[in-house]
Amino acid sequence: MSDRLRPQLYGIFGHPVGHSLSPVMHNAAFRHLEIEACYVPFDVADIEAAVQAVRTLDIRGVSITVPHKISIMPYLDQIDDAAAKIGAVNTVVNRDGVLTGTNTDGIGAVRALSEKGPIQGKRVAVVGAGGAARAIGFGVQSAGGKVVVFNRTVDRGRKLAEDLGCEFVPLSDIMQADTEIVVNATTVGMHPNSEKSPLPFEFLKPGMIVMDAVYSPLKTRLLEDAEARGCTQINGLNMLIYQGAAQFELWTGKKAPADLMLKAAEERRKPGR
């Protein structure tokens, strides 16, 4: 088979990864644009060996998810300015054997939030201190938002706040905080622990915009509580689609069919699928 006809291989590295909707949305985009490519989920424990596999198998692009967004960085050839500033990678681009890490999580979060209202000048609570929280925090700041980091582990939360140049509040003191937008960037509430919420019910106030980066389940306990309290809710699927569309464009150089990717993901999430 010639190189021209050989299907290109893409994938996602994470642990766990079976719940991911990235394969269905990216494969739908490849089919729509008639690109000979396949996107595959890889449940990865050893990220160093997985990066070597990218080189060996000539995998053209990879999405990186929990728990590898930070730990993958030493094994890549280059880290672009965005990912270096964030300190985490969610996307790997393979160009002629050179592996470059970048990050589109902040792009996805900002686009999802912006659909519900302006970010400029708003106080935004970012809950968490991992790779997703870092990307979202930097993304919100780039859009003019005023970030406040909340985290259960004080040392990690304070470190992220220092890197962002913003305020840190221990999660235990969140009831004292005054924010207009809230983003959960932790895995609290993800299946199979979907009965949990990272925030007290009473913290949520009418008129708040509440976004959960978790999308399995689509309506997390946090979003159920937000609905009950009269908040505007944004589920994790919106952020996933927009960050994925940005990945697709980096890999292929083509405009991502974001609406089609969203439709494919929603179809997969229908009961009985």
Mean pLDDT of 229-254: 97
Rounded-to-integer distance, Cα 216 and Cα 11, Å:
19
pLDDT tops 70 at residue 4: no
For residue 71, pLDDT over 90 is answered with yes
Omega before residue 192 within 30° of 0, cis: yes
Query: Does pLDDT of 80 surpass 70?
Result: yes
Does the active-site annotation cover 85? no
Residue 268, pLDDT score: 87
Decide if pLDDT at 97 tops 50.
yes
Which pLDDT score, from 0 to 100, does residue 270 have?
A: 66
- Determine contact, residues 164/135, Cβ cutoff 8 Å: no
Report pLDDT digits (tens) over 14-34: 999 988 899 999 999 999 999
Name the residue among 106, 115, 107, 142 with its Cα closest to residue 233. 115
Closest to 218 (Cα-Cα) out of 163, 150, 271: 271
C-alpha separations of 245 from 26, 240, 259 in Å: 8, 8, 10
pLDDT (mean) for 205-233: 96
Quick one: pLDDT band at residue 273, thresholds 50, 70, 90? very low
- Which of the four pLDDT bands, split at 50, 70 and 90, describes residue 247? very high
The pLDDT score that the predictor gives to residue 272 is 42
The pTM is what? 0.88
What is the rounded average pLDDT of the residues 146-152?
Answer: 98
**Which domains, from first to last, does the chain contain?**
8-103+238-268 (3.40.50.10860), 106-234 (3.40.50.720)
Element (H, E) at 232: strand 232-234
Residue 40 vs residues 20, 72, 136, 158, 175: alpha-carbon distances, Å: 10, 18, 26, 36, 42
For the CA atoms of 51, 184, 136, 162, the dihedral, rounded to the nearest 10 degrees, stands at -100
pLDDT score recorded for residue 62: 98
The pLDDT value recorded for residue 216 is 84
